[in-house]
Structure 1
Amino acid sequence: MYLPLFWLGVFFLISGAYSVRTVDKVASKPQQSITIPCSYDNNYKQNRMYLCKGNAWLSCNIIAHDGEEKENVEVTHHPTQNIFTVTMRNVQPTDAGSYWCAVAIGGIWTADEKAHFHLSVTEDPDLSVERSVVSGDVGGNMSVQCRYSNTYSSKKKSWCSFKDPKCSSVGGSVAPAGTKSQIRDDGAGTLSVEMMGVKETDTGWYWCEVGDLQIPVYLNITQHAAITIPTTTTCNYSGCVKESATPTFDEGTEGTDHLPKGALIGVSVTFGLLLLLTIIGVLAWREQNKQKEDYLNITPQDHRQNEHSASSEVEYNSVVFKKRNSERRLHQSHCPAVEDDHTIYSSVVNI
């Protein structure tokens, strides 16, 4: 009874051993991120991908599936490249250990496809890369710099691609994907890879390999901006002459795109402020001129009318005080006669 179980376990261990492919040993500094690519056979595009942690496949713990949102682990499926990537963020020493890239098959008698890799977390990794993502244009050259420790100075060094199982070693002149390249080892801890005349199809995942260590690198190769030079043909009795116009660039590839995004925002804000200040200045100038015109349009006749209006509001009234006859007679009997010239007149002016 134990013998069939033994062979069943062997079947599960070796089944699909070469259907999923990844690196063997990688290293990262603490509190950094690292991305591990895992390739699979073309017939698994519709299957579920996941990451499992544990020394033994049969007892490992599933950490994340593709499409799930985890705090520090993400599994992303790229079906057009037959690759899914495992990104681990803010790695800690406790994250070190054995992992499995796996493709879910779902059959009772068919094991899931998987590939094993080991992660080390240390302050001074024995192998690292200057940039894990390198971008370039079609037809240009691309450079990758991998750093290794003195412990690995005498180890074999290679440049490999996930698209091709073959690797190119130091001194080789052909890259795994067929693009011409040069791989140099300065003997002081730097492995340099120079790929020349790259094509858009060279986009994808590669890795530097030193001894039993690997470090993944992603090359992003895009089409360079195309330049269009319109020509006009002028013909006369002596022949035809072609004239070239000013070169123009394809929309979205040149022009302002070569400026940094921050510079574009700064220019836009500055222009907006200048336009606002100009509008405010014009409005203030027009208001001041309007007030001057209103003042100058007042004629002398208007001044006279204003004066007349002011003077017409003043009223003059005369009041004459005369004594009654009875009072005059009384005074005459007691007082000397008063001459009429001493009559008092007063004027009251109402304003």
Structure 2
Amino acid sequence: MWLSPVLLLLCLSGSLSLTGPSSVTGTLGGCLSVPCQYEEGYQRHNKYWCRGEFGVTCEKIVETKGEENEERSGRVSIRDHADNFTFIVTMENLTTDDAGSYWCRIQRTWFPDPFVQVNVSVSAGSSALVAVSNAVSGPLRGSLTVQCRYEPGWETYSKWWCQGAQWKDCHILVRTDGSEREEKGHHVSIKDNQKSRTFTVTMEELRWNNADTYWCGIERSGTDLGVEVKVTIDPVTVQCHYGPGWETYVKSWCPDADLNSCTILVQTTGSELKKNRLSINQKKHTFSMTIWGE
């Protein structure tokens, strides 16, 4: 009996391409964070954050030095997390002058720098309640935390976390009872630390549909206090390795438990392709599929 050769694939997870949120909003006097993800191979490249209407002429604010150490310039810092192919920019003590057009960029020598534009807005908000970061992200099936701080006097008030574009009619997922006891909902929990006047929300078992607008809130007579938080899910790359001799064969990606019945979403036409969500690196004998959502 003749048996066809078997191609064994080793699959790993990571991030691919340079991406980031198109817009983020911070509260006057607060801070915000911008996560930008990049493709494998850029770990040792300098990453930087610049401001301007156009990426090619933007003014550089802060830059990494090819390492994971935090670099700071005034109220702005940047740190590379090479293991996650992500660098994070943090802007603190926000003012109205901070609103504008910014760019995440990666420095290259012989080719144009990869970039992604991020529009920053600064709202008056309520000084009584601010989010430590107005934009957070987490890995698929992983977790993330959000911290919100409040002024003295609100310690025994009920705090809540809700989902929806408008905080006045968003869906409350979990809330405290005015104490420091942790309260749990479906894959989400909230705990108030009244000594530090900070309550922490933890989202677990993250799914693609968890990416949305959320709100930290404090319940009070009349209109509740609320501050916006944008939640995104990190893109995921499945990287498959193959042995010598398979370079010119067609590679494909299809999601299903049964190889014989799965529907192919994208495939190569032979030796080279970088299109849509599938890319090939012939020297490393790999092809990668980036997943951005369901």
Query: Shorter-chain TM-score category?
Result: 0.3 to 0.5
Higher strand proportion (structure 1 or 2): 2
TM-score, normalised with respect to structure 1: 0.36
| Higher RCO, Cα 8 Å, sep 6+ | 2
TM-score, normalised with respect to structure 2: 0.42
